[in-house]
Chain A
Amino acid sequence: MKKFIPFLALVIAVLVIAVSVTPVKNSTAFDLVGFGQLPVLSNGRIKPLDTVARSSLLQLQGKQSVKLSDGTKLSPEAWLLDVFFRPEKADTYPIFSIHNQELLSLVHKGSANESSEFLSFKDFIPYLQSIEDQAKLAGPIEEKSRTAFQRSVIQIAEDLMLYERLEHTIEKPGTTDFLGELLQFQKDIPAGVQAVRLKQEGKAHDEVIAQKVIEEGKQFMDLSQATTIMVIPSADPVGHPSQWRTMGQSLLESFEQGGIEPSALAFAGIGYAWQKQNADQFNQLIPLYRDELNNGYAKALKKTSVETHFNTAEPFYISLCLYTLAFIIAIISWLKWPDSLGRASFIFVLSAWLLSTAGIATRMWLEGRPPVTNLYSSALFVGWGAVALCLILEVVYKNAIGSVAAGLIGFGTLLIAHHLALSGDTLEMMRAVLDSNFWLATHVVIVTTGYASTFLAGFLAIIYIIRGVFTHTLDKATADSLARMVYGIVCFATLFSFVGTVLGGIWADQSWGRFWGWDPKENGALIIVLWNALILHARWGGLVKQRGLMCFALFGNIVTSWSWFGTNMLGIGLHSYGFTEAAFWSLALFVLSQIAMIGIGNIPLKNWRSFKANP
C-alpha cells in the first residue's frame, strides 16, 4: 500500500491538471464560449468579452459566476449577454455587494430583501441620485482620510457606473429592436444624408427623413459617450489600437461612410438572437463574425481564445488546492510513512508549481511583458519563486520541510493574489514610467525574488519553532538542517534584495535623476536589505545562535510584508496605489501573528517539547 502512495499522488495530480486545462464545452444550446472569445478593446488592450465579464463580476461581487435569487447559476458570458441585450432582466440580478451598514441603510429603505448583502441594479434605481450626490461630496477628500462610509459610497458609485457602461456597450438605452432600427437606418442613410445637406443649404428637402436622421445621430452621439468598451475593430488591422471604436462612434461614422460597419450589424444580430433566445441563429452568427475577423485579426483571435481558455482553466486556483493538499500530506509525513508520503507531497508541490509556471507564462505571453507588472502578479511571482527554492531544498534534504513551506507559501501568496484580483482586470497597461521591459525584467523580478526568499527563511523559522515547541519531532539533525537552510536562504535573500534594490536605484537615476529618493517603497526594500545584512552579521559575530537566527528570520516576514504592502498603504510616494481597509487589517493581523510566533520562539528551551524529550 505504502509503495503506491507516490504513484497515486502522481495520477491524482495529472488528472486534476488534465481536467482543469481541458477546454470547457457549452453547457447550454448557445455557443457562449465562442461569444466569450470575441475580441474587444477595453482599458487599453484587446481582450475577450469573457475577461470583460469576469473582471467586471469580480469587481462588483467578488466572484465570477452569478447566482440568482432562485438558486440558478449564470455563466459570466450569459450574464454579460443579458446586460448587453436584456437589461430589463439583468437589472434584477443581485450582483452588487455592499458591506457598509450606513450605505446599506441608504439603499435598503424600500427594497424587499433587507437581509441580503447582494443587491440588484433595480434596487438602486430610486437612490441613484443620492448615491451620486454622496459620492461627489466624498470625492475631494483625500483617500486616506475618508470614512468607511465615504469609501463605500465612492466604490458603489464606481460600480454602478461600470455597470451602466456595460449596459450601453452595444445597444441604445430603451430600444426594443436594435437590429431592426439599424437595418432601417441603413436604408435611410443615403436619403437622410441628402435631405440634411439640402436643409443646411436652405433648399427644399424631405423634412421628415432629415429630422429622423438627425435624431438618430443625437442618439448615437449619446451612445458613443456612454461606454469605454470598444467593440468595433479598426478597419486596418495593423493600425494602432486607438482606431478601435465604440458602437456609438462607429454608427456616427456610418453617416460619412454611407453604410453601417459589418461588425456593428454582427453584434446587433447576436443581440437579436439572444433576445429571441434563438440558439440556432446565435450559433450561426458567432462563427460568421469570427470568420470575418480572421481577415487580419487572426492573431488577436488566437490570443483571446487562449485568454478565455486561461480564464476557465483557473490554473492558480487549482494550484492553490494542490498546495493545500501537499501541505497536509507533508505534515502527516512527519508522523507516519515519511518516505512515501514525503514523496507524494513533493509530487503535489511540483505539479502545483508547474501549473503556476504555465499560468504565469501564459500571462506573460498575453501581455508581452516580464512576469511582474503589478501587485497582483508580484503575489503570483513571490509564491512561484519561494516554491522553486523549496523544491530545491526538498531535492537536497528530502525531509518534507521544503514541501510544508512550499504548501504554506504557495497557498498564502495565491490567496493574496485572489484578493488583489478583485479590483478588476489584472492584465493592466503599464504607466509611462514603468513602460520598460528591461527594468521590469531585471529590477522588479530580482527584488521580488528577494521578497520571496526572505519570506521563505521566515516560514522555515516558523516550522522550526512550531516543531520544536509543540512536538517531539525536532531532533538535532532536523534542527541543524533547518538552521543551514535558513542561513543559506538568508544569504540568497541578501544577494537578491540588494541587487534588486540597487537596480531600482539605477532605474530611478535613469528616469528621475536621482539614485535614491527615500520614497516609501525604496525605503521598504532598503530595510529588507539592512535586515538580512543584520542577520548575517549577528550570526557571523556569534551574537545569535540557532534559535536567535530563527527569531531574526521570522522578523524578516514582518519587514518584507511591510515593504510589499505596508508602504503602499501610506498613500504617498511614487509607488502608492489605492488600498482597502480589509487589506490593512489583514496586514496588521499577519504582523501580530509573527510577533506572537517570535514570542513563542523565546520560551525557554527547557520547555520546548522536542528538547525536553532529548535534552
Chain B
Amino acid sequence: MTALLRQFKDFFVSLRLTVVLLGLSIILVFWATLAQTDLGVYGVQQKFFHSLFIMVKIPGTEFPFPVFPGGYCIGGLLFINLIIAQISRLHLSWRKFGIWITHLGLIMLLVGELLSGLLQQDNDIVLDNGQTKNYAESQRQNELVITDVSDPKIDDVTSIPLDLVADLKTVQVPQIPFQIVPKQFFPNAEIASRAQAPNAPAAPATQGVGTQAVLMPLAVTVKDNERNEPAASIELVGSEGSLGTWLVSADPAMPVQKFDYKGKTWKIAMRATRRYLPFSLTLVKFSHDVYPGTDIPKNFSSLVRLHEDSNQSTREVLIYMNNPLRTHGLTFYQSGFANQDRTAILQVVRNPSWQLPYIACLLMTGGLLFQFSIHLVGFFSRRKPEVKLA
C-alpha cells in the first residue's frame, strides 16, 4: 500500500471523520429546519438534502457559491466512512455483533432515503362525491397539453413539459400540424375576467378566453398548503402563418379552449401534470366527524370504489386516517378535503423502496439493544465485587 493510499484510508476509516460528519449533519438539519419558514418543506429538501452542496448566491450577483456540504455529500461520506471502517477496523466478534447489525441497518436507512428521494412520486387525486377519475395530478408540476378531440371516443393528448414553455422554446412535434411558440410565462398568476378589473392591462392573447381576461402575476409561493398556478401566452404557428395567441393557465376555473385547424378540433390547456392509473376510482362518500361541541376533527374517511378494466373487478374500500389503501405499488392516503366536505383529496404515493426503512429500523433497534445489553451486563458483573469490598 502506498503512503498516499494509506493516508487516504486512514482518513476515511477514522472515528474523527464520523464525529465531524455527525456534527455537520446536525448543523445541516438545524439550518434546514430554520430555513423552512422561508422556503417551505419542499424547497428545503431540494436545497439542503437532495444536493451535494448548499449553494448561496454571492450578494449582488446571480452566481451561486457552495457554502456548506449538502445531504448527498454528508450522507455519501458517512456511507463511505461506515463501510471502510466496518471492513478494516471492526473485526467480526460477538462483542461487536450489535455494532455490525446497527451499522448494516444504518447503511440500509441511508440507501433507502436516497432511493426514496430519487424514486418517490407524490400526486393528489381530488374527487367530488360520486366523481370517477383514472388519473392523479401532480402537487407541483404542470404541463401544457394540446389535445386532438376530433374523435368523440378517443382524445389524442400531447403533453409539453413546462420547462420548455418557461424557457420560451419553440416546440414542433410530428403529432401536431403547428408549432407551439411560448411568448410569455408566469410561474404563478391569477386570471380574472376583464369585466371584474376593467382598468388592468389586457392579457396577451388574440384568441380564446384570454381576450376577455386580465392576468395578474403573483409571487411564487413555497407554503405547503398553497399551489402555484402558472400561466403563459402561447402563439400557435401553422404552415401558413400564425393562428393567434392563446392565454393558458393552470387555474382549475379556466374554461376549455377549443379551435379548428385543418379539419380537426383541438384543445389547448395548461393543467397539473397527470399520471394515469391502471384502474379508476370513484368517491362514494367522504365523511368528516368532529367531537361534539367542538371543531376538533375526530375522523376523516373516504369510501371509494375501485374498478379495474383489465379484469372487470370492482371493490369498495374505506380509506381513513392511519389506514391507507395499498394497491398496484401505489398507496392512497386521506390527505385533505374541500368544498364543504363534498370533496376528498387523496394523496397517491409511489415509493418502490418503502419497505427499506422498516427493515433498517428493525436491524438497528436489534443491534443497539444487543450492544447496550452487553454493556449493561458487563457493568453489573464488574460492579459486584466492588460492592462486596465496600
Contacts and interface: CB of A to CB of B under 8 A. Distances in A.
Interface of A: 41-45, 228-230, 240-242, 244, 396, 428-429, 431-433, 435-436, 439, 484, 488, 491-492, 494-495, 498-499, 502-503, 505-507, 509-520, 523-524, 526-527, 530-531, 533-534, 537-538, 540-541, 543, 559, 562, 567, 570-573
Interface of B: 14-16, 18-19, 22-23, 25-26, 29-30, 32-34, 36-37, 41, 44-45, 49, 112-113, 116, 120, 122, 291-294, 296-300, 321-324, 331, 333, 335, 347, 349, 351, 354, 357-358, 361, 364-365, 368-369, 372, 375-376, 379, 383
A572 B36 contact: yes
Given A511-B333, A526-B29, A495 B36 contact: no
A498 B33 contact: no
A523 B18 CA distance: 20
A439 B323 CA distance: 13
B349 A543 contact: no
B321 A511 contact: yes
Given A531-B26, A534-B22, A570-B36, A510 B324 contact: yes
A42 B322 contact: no
B302 to A, nearest CB: 13
Nearest to A492: B372
A510 B351 CA distance: 13
A530 B33 contact: no
A488 B376 CA distance: 8
9 contacts: A44-B292, A230-B293, A499-B361, A503-B361, A523-B29, A530-B29, A538-B15, A540-B15, A572-B36
Given A512-B333, A527-B30, A570-B34, A41 B322 contact: no
Contacts of B45: 518
A530 B26 contact: yes
Contacts of B333: 511-513
Contacts of B379: 484, 488
Contact of A498 (B18, B358, B368, B376): B368
B298 A429 contact: yes
Given A435-B321, A530-B29, A499 B293 contact: no
Contacts of A530: 22, 25-26, 29
Given A431-B296, A494-B368, A530-B25, A520 B18 contact: no
Main secondary structure on A side of the interface with B:
helix
Contacts of B376: 488
Contact of B294 (A228, A494, A543): A228
A534 B19 contact: yes
A531 B300 CA distance: 37
B297 to A, nearest CB: 4
Given A435-B299, A541-B14, A229 B29 contact: no
Given A484-B379, A512-B333, A540-B15, A524 B297 contact: no
A507 B324 CA distance: 12
Contact of B357 (A44, A491, A515): A515
A518 B32 contact: yes
B296 A396 contact: no
Given A513-B333, A519-B41, A530-B25, A567 B357 contact: no
A511 B300 contact: no
Identify the interface centre among B36, B112, B122: most chain A CB within 10 Å of its CB: B36
Contact of B32 (A498, A506, A523, A531): A523
Nearest to A438: B322
B17 to A, nearest CB: 10
Nearest to A567: B33
B292 A523 contact: no
B21 to A, nearest CB: 9
Nearest to B42: A518
A432 B299 contact: yes
A491 B374 CA distance: 11
Contacts of A519: 41
Contacts of B15: 537-538, 540-541, 543
User: What 10 A-B pairs are tightest by C-beta distance, nearest first?
Assistant: A44-B291, A541-B15, A513-B349, A242-B292, A502-B361, A534-B22, A432-B297, A515-B357, A523-B33, A511-B322
Contacts of B16: 541, 543
B324 A570 contact: no
Identify the interface centre among B291, B358, B369: most chain A CB within 10 Å of its CB: B291
B226 to A, nearest CB: 13
B36 A573 contact: yes
B294 A520 contact: no
B108 to A, nearest CB: 12
A35 B228 CA distance: 56
A518 B322 CA distance: 19
A158 B19 CA distance: 49
Nearest to B357: A515
Contacts of B349: 513-514
Contacts of A505: 357, 361
